[in-house]
Amino acid sequence: MFMGIPEDREMLLSKLTGEGRLRSENIIEAFREVPRESFIREGDVLNAYGDYPLQIGCGQTISAPHMVATMTELLKPRKTDKILEIGTGSGYQAAILSGLVESIISIELEPDLVLIAKKNLENAGCSNVTVLSGDGSVGFQNHAPYDKILVTCATPEIFQSWKDQLREGGFIVAPVGGFYHQDLILATKTENGFIEERHGACVFVPLRRETI
């Protein structure tokens, strides 16, 4: 039931902290400060703080808040971090990171969503997020190396370009798997190669390649 935006937001925060999805003070604060209602379609405003994905156009979705919480906690954002995000979508995940890190490059394949995300991020005052139009499977070499890479579309694998563009000691958080089901993977780059940890099952919209 819709209680009002501030009330619904606090209810969602209690749920996510109660479930242990949100743990860090700075991330909880980011969830409080970024208005999810500004990153969704007008007709969905009453559902802005429901813990489920919503359609954002072009057949794409804004992830459920619990997934944004889990991914953001896994990223362990630091004020000095340079982040690469693959799959800007609405821009909401990038906005959550915006106040927690130094800068974010976010790549989106759908030109219409690039425009929507840029507008959403500008309205939210997220000036350290750069949205680029294109196929993020090749990353973005010009600003490499990144401290962390976040993939928010389902990918069949962690591509070599992402591995190459990550600094040593940095890590990649990505949903890796098939169409219906993926594992949330945290892959850390060490001097002896990548170490992978699994962090549960998830379902994301698929990564698409420009060439196919």
Catalytic center residues: 63
DSSP 207: P
Q: How many residues bind to ligand SAH according to rule CB under 6 A?
A: 24
Is 89 within 8 Å of 117 (Cβ atoms)? yes
Q: Helix 25-33 and helix 5-18: axis angle, to 10°? A: 160
Q: Is 5 in contact with 49 (CB distance < 8 Å)?
A: yes
Tell which positions 18-77 bind ligand SAH, by CB under 6 A. 60-63
Q: Shortest Cβ distance from residue 191 to ligand SAH (Å)?
A: 29
CB of 104 to ligand SAH, least distance (A): 11
DSSP code of 144?
P
CB of 53: closest distance to ligand SAH in angstroms?
Answer: 8
Nearer to ligand SAH, 186 or 207 (CB): 207
Q: CB of residue 20 vs ligand SAH: minimum separation in angstroms? A: 21
116: contact with ligand SAH by CB under 6 A: no
Candidates 13-21, 106-114, 123-131, 156-164: pick the segment binding ligand SAH (CB under 6 A): 106-114
Taking the C-alpha atoms of residue 12 and residue 14, their distance in angstroms, rounded to an integer, is 5
- 93 within 8 A of 150, measured Cβ to Cβ: yes
C-alpha torsion sign, points 16, 21, 25, 28: negative
Contacts of 29 (CB under 8 A, 6+ apart): 99
208 lies in the site for ligand SAH, by CB under 6 A: yes
**Position 49, amino acid:** Y
Contact in structure between 116 and 62 (CB atoms under 8 Å): no
Burial of 206 (0-12, 13-18, 19+ CB in 10 A): middle
Instruction: Indicate the residue among 55 and 190 with the shorter CB distance to ligand SAH.
Output: 55
Which of 9, 21, 77, 93 lies at the binding interface for ligand SAH (CB under 6 A)?
A: 93
Nearer to ligand SAH, 160 or 190 (CB): 160
89 lies in the binding site for ligand SAH (CB under 6 A): yes
Shortest spacing between CB 22 and ligand SAH, in angstroms: 16
Give the binding site for ligand SAH (CB under 6 A). 60-63, 86-87, 89-90, 92-93, 107-110, 113, 135-137, 152-153, 205, 207-209
